[in-house]
Amino acid sequence: MVKSGDEDLGVFQVILLGDSIFDNAVYVPGEPAVVEQLNAKLGDSGSADLLAVDGHMTQHVSGQAQNIPDDATHLFVSVGGNDALEAIPVLHHDGPAQSLLAALKEVQAKFIQNYSEMLDDIVSRNLPTTICTIYDAVPDMEAMTHASASSALSLFNDVIVREATSRGLPIIDLRLVCDTAEDYSHLSPIEPSAIGGEKITQAIHHVLIHHDFDHVGTKIYGKAR
């Protein structure tokens, strides 16, 4: 297996799991999708396979993982955005604040269960695994949700960071990676554009090269410098 920082010792076989953050081809017509950008960046040092599926939620990732090939060396998981979208109706709650907080707590509890079960399954495969947070700089998100998007998404990102950290997994914080309007597709503002995809690709490649997966401990990565 390739060790971080030792590109010349072998070949990376990267598997992308999750949702349209990785499976964004339909949102960047005429431009490279994330998996194509990552394959171009890996070059002779390896390749990337896409198992992520546009529209999938946290509970779908274990099914995707059934197709992980035997020669896989690294897993990258980016999921949770569609779980958050499903919870948008809760943000339109017109009742008292106390009942809204109770509803949000229930939403978060469900996500904790789903995300924890998913991570347990992925970690059981004993492959170097990196987790991504949900980005929150989506253009016009406030108008779509009629609430503070970053505050709402923090309920989900708190779970992602906590569950990944408890398992000693590295994290790519997409809130730091895709932080400008140009990072999002003009066809669907919640999907990465080719520009955003390139930033995501750079962050993935940086983790592959620089993270010490032999050392159990979480490190959070932002934009690759």
Residue of higher predicted confidence among 162 and 189: 162
pLDDT tens by residue, 15-36: 999 999 999 999 999 999 999 9
Tokens of 44: 């002779």
Average pLDDT (66-79) is 98
In terms of DSSP H, where are the helices of 48-148?
Answer: 61-65, 81-86, 88-91, 97-123, 141-145
- Poorest-pLDDT segment among 69-83, 95-109, 184-198: 95-109
**Is it the case that residue 169 has pLDDT exceeding 70?**
yes
**Measuring CA to CA, which residue among 52, 6, 2 is closest to residue 197?**
52
Q: With contact defined as beta carbons under 8 Å apart, do 62 and 121 qualify?
A: yes
Helix 97-123 with 149-166: angle, nearest 10 deg: 40
Mean pLDDT of the chain: 89
Where in the chain are the domains? 8-221
**Is it the case that residue 139 has pLDDT exceeding 50?**
yes
Q: What is the pLDDT of residue 106?
A: 87
Give the CATH superfamily of 8-221: SGNH hydrolase (3.40.50.1110)
Whole-prediction pTM: 0.90
